[in-house]
Structure 1
Amino acid sequence: MKIPPCNMEIEQVFLQLEQQECRSLCITSTNSGEGVTSLAQALTERHLLAGYRTLLVDLNLQNPSLTALSFITEPQEEKDTRPHYLALTLQDNVVLSGLPIPTDKADMMELRQPKNMKNHITQWLTEFDKVIIDSSALSQLQVDSIPAQTVAASCDGTIMVILSGQTLQTEFKAAVESLENNKANIIGHVFNDKYHPSLKNELCREIERLRFLPNRLSTKLISMINNNRFLSTVV
């Protein structure tokens, strides 16, 4: 699912991150398929629009979203090289500066260590203003995965995505407790209303289905609904 970077909800999350002065951000969820990748890509695009050099890092080994277009190494000093990846988002063919998932097992094992993860993030931040990490779900603790808890604890802040009407409360509480035990800084929760749309979204969708309405009228009605303060507070 593609989320426009200028979406109102994305703007609210972006402004919150600005207030927190968050340079490295981990985005995760309780279970896979809750919308982490869509949010990570939208926030990356929003930061780019704001003029930030932003790196999108894909550490979701179960559901990778980036593929390398090219690999360039620019030597800075003798015995010192810095890899730069040009990555392509598979969902909508938007080209972003990104790091696709590590394919070497040794690299994966290295990133499982909190100290090494922090060192990598520190290195990335010498070349970029912001680092956004698309992490695996907290429930996916597997040998061949990089634990989201490790990633979250290494970042300035963490956002959890919750799929409304699907994520169990007991699972969510366990996921939050796991992050807190690893001393992660949870700065917010984003609710994905894909299966639980708000009243405002439902009204707009019904208007769009009324094909007999002139485009000018339907556009005006949708604008009025989106700008209605009362409907913005109704779930």
Structure 2
Amino acid sequence: MRIPSCHMEIEQVFLQLEKHECHSLCITSTNPGEGVSSLAQALTERHLLAGYRTLLVDLNLQNPSLTALSLDLTINNNESDTSHCLSYIEHNSQVVLGVPVPQNKAQIVELRQPKKLSEQIKKWHEEFDKIIIDSSALSQLNANNIPAQSIAGCCDGTIMVVLSGQTLQTELKEALTSLDNHHANLIGHVFNDKYQPRLKTEICREIERLHFLPNVITNKLITFVQNNRFLSTVV
């Protein structure tokens, strides 16, 4: 799913990141499929529109979203260097400057080490103003992945994506504890209401079902509900 960078919700997240002067950002979630990649891509686009040199880094080895159009990964003196390149976002047909998931096991092992990951982020900062990292879910801890907890601890800030109506409260608490143990700077949460529409969305849906009303009245009612400030604050 592609989230337009012009959405007011994306603008609010962007302004919070500006307020915290966040130069490297980790985006994660409790479980897979909560919308991390979509948010990372939308924020990358928003920062580019603001004039920042922005790099999208895909460290979600379980569900990668970037495909390299050109790849230049080299290993010198037994040390791996993860380079950026033009990358293709498969599900929305966009091209960005990014870092696809590492394919070399030596690179994965290195990036699992917080010290090495911090050094790599510093290298990226030599060329870019903003680094946005699409990480795996906090619950996905295995030998073939780069723990999101470690990534979060190496970044200036972290955003948690929560799938409303799906993520359990106990799971969220465990995820927050894990981030705290890794000294992550949690800036905030973004709630994905894919399965839990807002009240005004439900009202508009019910209005559309009133087929006995003329279209003119239906459209006026829907416009009124959509522009109502109070309903915009109610989930």
1:170 counterpart residue number:
170
Q: Does 1:4 align with 2:4?
A: yes
Supply the distance in 2 between the matched residues of 1:216 and 1:187 (Cα, whole angstroms): 43
1:76 counterpart residue number:
none
Once the two structures are superposed, what CA deviation does each residue of 1:63-119 show, in whole Å capped at 9, x if it has no partner?
00000011358xxxxxxx883310010111111111100000000000000001101
1:14 counterpart residue number:
14
2:122 counterpart residue number:
122
Q: Does 1:45 align with 2:55?
A: no
What TM-score do you get using the length of structure 1 for normalisation? 0.89
Supply the distance in 2 between the matched residues of 1:160 and 1:198 (Cα, whole angstroms): 20
2:29 counterpart residue number:
29
Q: 1:148 to 1:82 in 2, by over 3 A?
A: closer
Supply the distance in 2 between the matched residues of 1:94 and 1:107 (Cα, whole angstroms): 26
Residue identity opposite 2:100 in structure 1: P
- Please, which runs of 5 or more residues in structure 2 have no aligned partner? 74-80
Supply the distance in 2 between the matched residues of 1:94 and 1:125 (Cα, whole angstroms): 23
Supply the distance in 2 between the matched residues of 1:72 and 1:213 (Cα, whole angstroms): 61
Question: Once the 2 structures are TM-superposed, how far is the Cα of residue 208 of structure 1 from its aligned partner?
Answer: 6.5
- Please, which runs of 5 or more residues in structure 1 have no aligned partner? 74-80
1:58 counterpart residue number:
58
State the identity %: 67
Supply the distance in 2 between the matched residues of 1:49 and 1:191 (Cα, whole angstroms): 24
1:180 counterpart residue number:
180
Residue identity opposite 2:108 in structure 1: M
Question: Once the 2 structures are TM-superposed, how far is the Cα of residue 210 of structure 1 from its aligned partner?
Answer: 7.8
Give the count of matched residue pairs: 227
Once the two structures are superposed, what CA deviation does each residue of 1:29-83 show, in whole Å capped at 9, x if it has no partner?
000011101111111111111111111100000000000011358xxxxxxx883
1:138 counterpart residue number:
138
Q: How does 1:155-234 map to 2 (within 5 A)?
A: 155-206=155-206, 218=219, 221-234=221-234
Supply the distance in 2 between the matched residues of 1:223 and 1:93 (Cα, whole angstroms): 32
Residue identity opposite 2:123 in structure 1: Q
What TM-score do you get using the length of structure 2 for normalisation? 0.89
Moved more, 39-48 or 224-233: 224-233
Residue identity opposite 1:130 in structure 2: K
Supply the distance in 1 between the matched residues of 2:9 and 2:115 (Cα, whole angstroms): 34
